[in-house]
Amino acid sequence: MLRVVVMVSGGGTNLQAIIDSISAGEIKNAGIVGVISNNYGVYALERAKKAGIESAVVCPKDFLDRAAFNEALLDKVNSYEPDLIVLAGFLVVIPEKMIDAYENRIINIHPSLIPSFCGTGYYGLKVHEAALARGVKLTGATVHYVDKGTDTGPIILQKAVEVKEGDTPEILQRRVMEEAEWKLLPAAISKIADEKESK
């Protein structure tokens, strides 16, 4: 059984998609052992609670400096003994020490077809604003492994989503979530879990 830690910063819709996929038996060889947020009071923590999943908050504001925060974050992650760390809308730069400790065991979902609209500064609505400004006809989402670059790790899965006439960044963001993100992230976890199981 793949032990999964999900890291979140906000509402946790991708977390919910993973929880639902595990409940429905679509993800067979994995379970969420912990949810970590960098923000207090976000709805993702409520989702974890409703699903009976242990959660924790490690907030940068609670620490004197970034180094202390990074240390505490890694300690909390280690406490769950995860096989896989899933960044599901986690808007914090992952410390290099954590990337080293969990090489090829951290995945992220990005709301575009990498290499388009990715890298430093491209997150949340900014990605969809850039896609609309460029006039692309297709966008989508990408699940990739996390390395020391920004959105530069090996790609696991991608799914294209049509850009429609009259789309706003908010409308496009919602469609990318519904048609791509909420399907891709559970599929990637399932793929990794099944591969580990078959070894």
128 is catalytic: no
CB atoms within 10 A of CB 29: 15
Strands 2-8 and 155-162, by their bridges, are unpaired
* pLDDT confidence of residue 27: 96
The answer as to whether 139 is a domain residue is no
Domain range for residue 63?
2-110+145-158+181-198
Q: Three-state SS for 5? A: strand
pTM, entire model = 0.95
The answer as to whether 119 is a domain residue is no
**C-alpha–C-alpha distance, residues 101 and 52, integer Å:** 28
**Residue 198 pLDDT level (bands cut at 50, 70, 90):** confident
* pLDDT confidence of residue 7: 98
- How many structural domains compose the chain? 1
pLDDT in tens, 10-65: 999 999 999 999 999 999 999 999 999 999 999 999 999 999 999 999 999 999 99
Instruction: For residue 115, say if its preceding peptide bond is cis, omega within 30 degrees of 0.
Output: yes
- The residue annotated as part of the active site, out of 110, 128, 144, 175, is 110
Q: Is the pLDDT of residue 197 over 90?
A: no
Q: Is the pLDDT of residue 199 over 80?
A: no
Q: Which residues contact 129 (CB under 8 A, 6 or more apart)?
A: 169
Tokens describing residue 28: 């067979």
Q: Is 2 left (phi over 0), alpha (psi -120 to 50) or beta?
A: beta
* pLDDT confidence of residue 94: 93
The answer as to whether 134 is a domain residue is no
β strands within 112-181, DSSP E: 138-145, 155-162
**C-alpha–C-alpha distance, residues 196 and 16, integer Å:** 23
Average pLDDT on 138-164 reads 96
Check which CATH number belongs to the domain holding 30 and give it.
Answer: 3.40.50.170
Listed residue (52, 96, 54) closest to 74, CA to CA: 96
